[in-house]
Amino acid sequence: MTLNLDKIDDQQLLKNTEALVKQERSITIFLLAHLDEIESRRLYAELGHSSLFSYCIKKLGYSESEAYLRIAVMRLSRSLPEIKEWISTGDITISNVVITIQSIKRQEKISGENLALEEKRALLAAVSKKSTRAAKQLLEAIEDKKRADQQAKSAPPLSLLMPPAADELTPYTTTTTATTITTTSELIFSGVSGGNSGNSGSCGSGAPAADEILPPWSKAVLLYKVEVSSAVLEKMATLKNLAGNYSDCELLELALQKTIESYTKPSVNQHRQNHTLTPSPQNNHSRYIPQSVRQEVRARAKDRCEYISPITGERCEEVHNLEFDHCQPFAGGGENNVTNLRLYCRTHNLLVAKNTLGKEKMDQYWHVKN
Ligand SMILES: [Zn+2]
């Protein structure tokens, strides 16, 4: 489309531009609402995408940063719907919302606890009507202050960071209780942080002295060295890209937490196994998939999700969170052989399970993020 703006006078040109900016903001709000609804319905899965992020890039043509930006704002607006109003009036830009979201994550990491909704709202209000540069400076100052407060509250003196001798460990591990530790911990760290808070009065009421209870190295930050392969580095980079602005330490903790959860939550396959559609003709056949079969299926799939959307005909090709899925359910007598197994990502394993078992049963496994 070509626009011939030569004939429009200056005033009209400026007026039209302002009107277009208003329209652009309104369209942004509509777009966020649509992305929200698509994620709630998981329509991206039906179309052969493993996530809303993937759908935004492959189907809608956004760059990774454009997709991340819109999805991050959309998810925060679920708990703070007024963000949409602020964007539509121009009080806050999407960029400033995103850097605030990133700062919220860092602040929560610093303090070890989630920010309340009111605190998030206050941060967004603080960066409204500011340039992105000014907003960044403000948020960094807030983080620095929080970091300093946290360090003052929790850091033991340098002398306490020295590793204990072996014979010093025994008294700390034998006779204390959780209640005593909590109480004394507060005394220790309030005592060493402020300098002039008067810790001598607090400790004189019969409670054991701090150094009798807690191992002095218990709050130390440890340097943990480990050799990793290039595959691990690639996964770290991918996770950093998907999860946002985390440090390597935070990413590792996030990955460990997700792995632990995957072991402690009931798996979809377990759920499907319990829901026998038809009696299995081979109730004693093993769920174990032989290594050779796994390798052959992985080779056929080229280590990518094999789901093909019946709507678009497009294959998913996700490379993360891959699981083996039975074409004919195991509980219905399906065999663990190459022709009956397919490699699906988590999203499409859940989609197939939902189509088999019903939306109500599977909704507990679909989590819409905030
Ligand atoms: Zn998939």
Walking along the chain (370 residues) 10 residues at a time, the average pLDDT comes out as: 86 95 94 96 94 96 95 95 94 95 95 95 96 96 94 70 54 38 33 36 40 42 65 73 67 76 60 46 66 94 96 94 90 88 94 80 64
**d(CA 116, ligand 1 centre) in Å:** 35
Buried b or exposed e, range 187-215, using 16+ CB within 10 angstroms: bbbbbbbeeeeebeeeeeeeebebeebbb
**d(CA 48, ligand 1 centre) in Å:** 6
Residue 333's pLDDT is 84
**d(CA 13, ligand 1 centre) in Å:** 48
Residue 219's pLDDT is 39
Q: Is the dihedral of CA 215, 217, 219, 224 positive or negative?
A: negative
Alpha carbon distance 275, 223 (integer Å): 47
Q: Are 106 and 75 in contact (CB under 8 A)?
A: no
Beta bridge partners of 323: 344
Alpha carbon distance 318, 51 (integer Å): 9
Identify residues whose C-beta is under 5 A from ligand 1, the ion. Answer: 50, 305, 307, 316, 318, 345, 348
**d(CA 323, ligand 1 centre) in Å:** 10
**d(CA 117, ligand 1 centre) in Å:** 34
**d(CA 163, ligand 1 centre) in Å:** 48
**d(CA 304, ligand 1 centre) in Å:** 8
Residue 41's pLDDT is 92
**d(CA 316, ligand 1 centre) in Å:** 5
Sequence-separated (6 or more) residues with CB below 8 Å from residue 139: 99, 100, 103, 123, 127
**d(CA 354, ligand 1 centre) in Å:** 14
**d(CA 305, ligand 1 centre) in Å:** 5
**d(CA 86, ligand 1 centre) in Å:** 36
Nearest CA-CA partner of 106 in 163, 65, 73, 147: 147
Sequence-separated (6 or more) residues with CB below 8 Å from residue 194: 152
Residue 166's pLDDT is 53
**d(CA 281, ligand 1 centre) in Å:** 30
Residue 339's pLDDT is 94
Residue 161's pLDDT is 57
Distances (CA, A) of 201 to 12, 155, 241, 286: 74, 21, 50, 66
Alpha carbon distance 18, 22 (integer Å): 6
Residue 257's pLDDT is 74
Rounded to the nearest 10°, the torsion over CA 41, 47, 52, 56 is -130
Residue 123's pLDDT is 97
Residue 259's pLDDT is 77
Residue 191's pLDDT is 35
**d(CA 318, ligand 1 centre) in Å:** 5
